[in-house]
Amino acid sequence: MQSSGLINEGGQAKLKYEFKFGNDEIIYKYSRFANTELCDEELYINGEVVFKCDFKNSKFDFQGLSIISAETVNTKRYLNKDEMDNEYVLPFLRWLINNTTFSDNSVLIQLFEYVRKMSMITVGNDLLYSNRNFFEDLKNPIYLQSFEDFLNLMGIECKLVLQELPDGQVELYFSHKKLVPFYRTVSSGTLALTSLYQKIVSNPSLIYIDDFAAFYHYEMAEKLISFFKTKYPKCQLIMTSHNTNLMTNKIIRPDCLFILSSKGTLTALCDATERELREGHNLEKMYISGELEKYE
């Protein structure tokens, strides 16, 4: 999947997503105001228009629904005036998928399944708060062992124990001669790892992690990247970071490293220099020396 977006002078956010499933290429575009009001929406399959919705001017083109064998769908029901007068307009693509029967191999079903498994992970103000559902999961010895293995893989050598307190609640401890309360003694980095672990989902199609290395030593950040690459070999991973130590061929290819400029443009490192980048090049040194400055 590829995506792009911009904010125009009218205050609209315009977004474009490109997907490829087998031989089918899908382009989905929409724009909306900051208040989430939907302005327009378009869907293309293999270059052909499936539908166009201009909500601002109440203009709709559903002539291409036959491309996805949905020409009999009752679009008048979607355009019902009572629904369209709502402050929030339901995207037609979502309505179409929820109100039409498609075959399992339909490209729209593949799109729906992909989008459904997209995950955004943030690590922020929840660092100091334990998740009670997380403790319920840890009651399963397999899940507790999995979490312990994760911490050990990140360089935090430990043995974990979960105990039930007299009031019926459970508490997580480090196992030593005397049990050490987990949440009251760990560093902010370990708390960030714990928060991240709680949000890891099963079988994702895409994971976006914003500023994922903010709380980690650079070696741990490298281990996290390796962990995600190993755990999700078929998943598209997007990670943002200010950590220039991660600009290395050792863990990420130059064509997979991007500079996000102050103007909102993305440039791959391989396109940000006239050099033919090789494995021996020090990418971080090139960046810090200002060789890539015009793309910042």
Count how many domains the chain has: 1
Instruction: List pLDDT tens digits, range 23-47.
Output: 999 999 999 886 678 899 999 999 9
Q: Determine the structural domain holding residue 49 and report its residue range.
A: 2-116
- The mean per-residue pLDDT over the stretch 89-117 comes to 91
CB atoms inside a 10 Å sphere around CB 258: 18
Instruction: List pLDDT tens digits, range 235-281.
Output: 999 999 888 888 888 888 889 899 988 887 889 888 988 888 887 78
Q: Indicate whether 18 belongs to any domain.
A: yes
pTM over 0.85: no
Residue 2 has what pLDDT? 63
Q: Indicate whether 176 belongs to any domain.
A: no
Strand partners, 15: 5, 30
Q: Indicate whether 24 belongs to any domain.
A: yes
Tell me which of 44 and 291 has the higher pLDDT: 44
Q: Indicate whether 154 belongs to any domain.
A: no
Which tokens is 11 given? 């205050």
- Judge contact between 229 and 237, C-beta under 8 A: yes
Q: Given a cut of 70, is residue 188 above it in pLDDT?
A: yes
Q: Indicate whether 131 belongs to any domain.
A: no
Tell me which of 140 and 121 has the higher pLDDT: 140
Which pLDDT band holds residue 293 (cuts at 50, 70, 90)? confident
- The mean per-residue pLDDT over the stretch 185-199 comes to 87
Match 């078929």 to its residue by tokens.
Answer: 234
Residue 266 has what pLDDT? 87
- Please state the φ and ψ torsions of residue 282, each to the nearest 5 degrees: -90, 100
CA distances from 24 to 48, 51, 189, 277 (A): 11, 17, 43, 33
Which pLDDT band holds residue 110 (cuts at 50, 70, 90)? very high
**% of the chain residues with pLDDT over 90:** 42
Residues in contact with 190: Cβ distance below 8 Å, sequence separation at least 6, in sequence order:
151, 156
Residue 88 has what pLDDT? 58
Residue 5 has what pLDDT? 52
Instruction: List pLDDT tens digits, range 59-87.
Output: 999 999 999 999 999 999 898 755 555 55
Q: Indicate whether 68 belongs to any domain.
A: yes
CA distances from 124 to 57, 72, 121, 204 (A): 40, 47, 10, 21
- The mean per-residue pLDDT over the stretch 87-116 comes to 89
Residue 272 has what pLDDT? 86
CB atoms inside a 10 Å sphere around CB 70: 21
Quote the CA–CA distance of 191 and 181 in Å, as a whole number.
Answer: 13
Q: Indicate whether 66 belongs to any domain.
A: yes
Match 């090789």 to its residue by tokens.
Answer: 278
| Residues written for the chain | 296
Which tokens is 186 given? 């760990």
Average model confidence (pLDDT) across the chain: 86
Buried b (16+ CB within 10 A) or exposed e, 215-233: bbeeebbbbbbeebeeebe
CB atoms inside a 10 Å sphere around CB 137: 15
Q: Indicate whether 31 belongs to any domain.
A: yes
Rounded (10°) CA dihedral 84, 85, 86, 90: 10
Which pLDDT band holds residue 8 (cuts at 50, 70, 90)? low
